[in-house]
């Protein structure tokens, strides 16, 4: 028998804030976290803006030695996991650690570490390579390091499905609990890919915005003047628990995870197909597992990247799945404020989804000044909306044709 799974804790580091409360306040206020890049010289780059993590003190979560050894994507995961566990009030010890696991997603892993060590190799030779280079670069070392710090000895894995990684991680964690392989899972996504190499590479693909003169207005999903997504760093982690485990310890429950859909386009390494049939099927599969009709969904946290094809084809897919109900749905892209956290996007947007349910607030899509006529749904322009929200769908779609969709609902015993 499939077991029920609930969300009991949330934690994040991202361009809008270094905790959930500050981040959610910024989201509700329609604030942008996008600014000019400060981590490195952008003189030779076409794109000079990104969603950097700001005013973050790693020493609040790790030692100075660990700051030198760990890539930022690992540090962000350690910080977010600690916040999420504290929020959940969950104590991990020898009585429960074998039944607590972790699945984190990352699109790239430690690319900053790879760049730094490659530079050291070219300048001074192999003797200057750090012995911590490989542990700092491997995408699964965020999950591994979090497991070591908190002593989780249950299932461990890492989803590396580009921009779908966070949702894939949470979906896999949901099923790990639902089918009895764990009682608690720490899950989400983490990324620190704003680096010279990554920005230059996305520029070469013509995938990211070059609206350098107005950073806060650069991420503009569904707007006819959008010119690409905005790269961002950060992490979003949620604590998933089997329902009776959570109730027995008196945990506060944000929402229930009720469905997950995962498909592949098998079409193109970077572009979705017209109409996005893979997105259609992933949404349908998530609804099917949730036991819901399309008319049951109140709000969709869209993938909404601010790219020409994704935005248009995602709207087409939503119309295909929801039919007449698509005109009654609220749909918004929080990437208009956070930028695109790549493999961490799903983790952060899962937090926004459950906060929407918990607080009865639909986040806005900011910078929607001139809506694309083909993106003609209720996209919540500029200002958040107060509304009773019982169900939320969260979409993520990634390079390689990876599609991952989650459905959350208000918890009812």
CATH number for position 96: 3.40.47.10
CB 380, CB 361: distance < 8 Å? no
pLDDT at residue 410 above 90? yes
Q: Is residue 407 part of a domain?
A: no
Q: Is residue 219 part of a domain?
A: yes
pLDDT at residue 210 above 80? yes
Q: What is the span of the domain harbouring residue 207?
A: 1-401
- CB half-sphere exposure, 283, CA atoms < 13 A: 32
Q: Is residue 410 part of a domain?
A: no
pLDDT-based confidence at residue 246 (cuts at 50, 70, 90): very high
pLDDT at residue 1 above 80? no
27 to 18, 176, 182, 279, 382: CA distances (angstroms): 13, 31, 33, 25, 11
pLDDT-based confidence at residue 234 (cuts at 50, 70, 90): very high
For residue 30, the cross-strand partners are none
Structure-token match 């009991």, residue found: 8
Q: Is residue 406 part of a domain?
A: no
Q: Is residue 213 part of a domain?
A: yes
Whether pTM > 0.85 for this model: the answer is: yes
pLDDT at residue 328 above 80? yes
Q: Is residue 243 part of a domain?
A: yes
CB 327, CB 378: distance < 8 Å? yes
Catalytic residue among 28, 163, 235, 375: 163
Q: Is residue 67 part of a domain?
A: yes
CB 361, CB 355: distance < 8 Å? yes
Q: How many domains does the chain have?
A: 1
Is 325 annotated in the active site? no
- Over residues 159-198, the pLDDT tens digits come to 999 999 999 999 999 999 999 999 999 999 999 999 999 9
Return the pLDDT at 229.
98
Return the pLDDT at 208.
98
Is 163 annotated in the active site? yes
Is 375 annotated in the active site? no
Q: What is the mean pLDDT of the chain?
A: 98
Residues 38-55, mean pLDDT to the nearest whole number = 98
- Measured between alpha carbons, how far is 406 from 259 in angstroms, rounded to an integer? 6
Catalytic residue among 158, 235, 276, 340: 340
CB 81, CB 109: distance < 8 Å? no
Q: Is residue 411 part of a domain?
A: no
Catalytic residue among 28, 158, 276, 303: 303
């Amino acid at each position: 028998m499939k077991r029920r799974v609930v969300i009991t804790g949330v934690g994040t580091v991202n361009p809008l804030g270094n905790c959930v409360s500050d981040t959610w306040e910024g989201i509700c206020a329609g604030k942008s976290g996008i600014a000019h890049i400060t981590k490195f010289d952008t003189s030779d780059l076409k794109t000079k803006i990104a969603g950097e993590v700001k005013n973050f003190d790693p020493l609040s979560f790790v030692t100075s030695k660990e700051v030198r050894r760990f890539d930022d994507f690992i540090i962000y995961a350690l910080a977010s996991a600690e916040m999420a566990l504290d929020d959940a009030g969950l104590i991990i010890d020898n009585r429960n650690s074998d039944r607590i696991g972790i699945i984190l997603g990352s699109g790239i892993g430690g690319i900053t570490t790879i760049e730094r060590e490659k530079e050291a190799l070219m300048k001074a030779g192999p003797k200057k390579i750090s012995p911590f280079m490989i542990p700092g670069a491997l995408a699964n070392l965020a999950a591994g390091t979090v497991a070591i710090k908190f002593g989780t000895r249950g299932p461990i894995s890492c989803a590396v499905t580009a921009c779908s990684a966070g949702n894939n991680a949470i979906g896999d964690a949901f099923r790990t609990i639902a089918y009895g392989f764990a009682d608690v899972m720490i899950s989400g996504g983490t990324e620190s890919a704003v680096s010279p190499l990554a920005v230059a590479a996305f520029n070469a693909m013509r995938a990211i915005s070059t609206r350098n003169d107005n950073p806060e207005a650069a991420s503009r999903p569904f707007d006819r003047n959008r010119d690409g997504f905005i790269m961002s760093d950060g992490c979003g982690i949620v604590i998933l628990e089997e329902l009776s485990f959570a109730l027995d310890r008196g945990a506060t429950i944000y929402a229930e995870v009720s469905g997950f859909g995962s498909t592949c386009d098998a079409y193109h390494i970077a572009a979705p197909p017209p109409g996005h049939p893979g997105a259609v099927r992933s949404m349908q599969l998530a609804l099917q597992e949730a036991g819901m009709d399309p008319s049951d969904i109140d709000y969709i946290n869209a993938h909404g990247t601010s790219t020409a094809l994704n935005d248009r084809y995602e709207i087409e897919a939503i119309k295909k799945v929801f039919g007449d109900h698509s005109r009654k749905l609220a749909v918004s892209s929080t990437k208009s404020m956070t930028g695109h956290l790549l493999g961490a996007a799903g983790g952060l947007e899962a937090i926004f989804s459950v906060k929407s349910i918990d607080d009865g607030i639909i986040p806005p899509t900011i910078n929607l000044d001139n809506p694309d006529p083909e993106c003609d749904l209720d996209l919540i322009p500029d200002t958040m909306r107060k509304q009773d929200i019982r169900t939320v769908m969260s979409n993520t779609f990634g390079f390689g044709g990876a599609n991952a969709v989650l459905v959350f609902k208000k918890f009812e015993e």
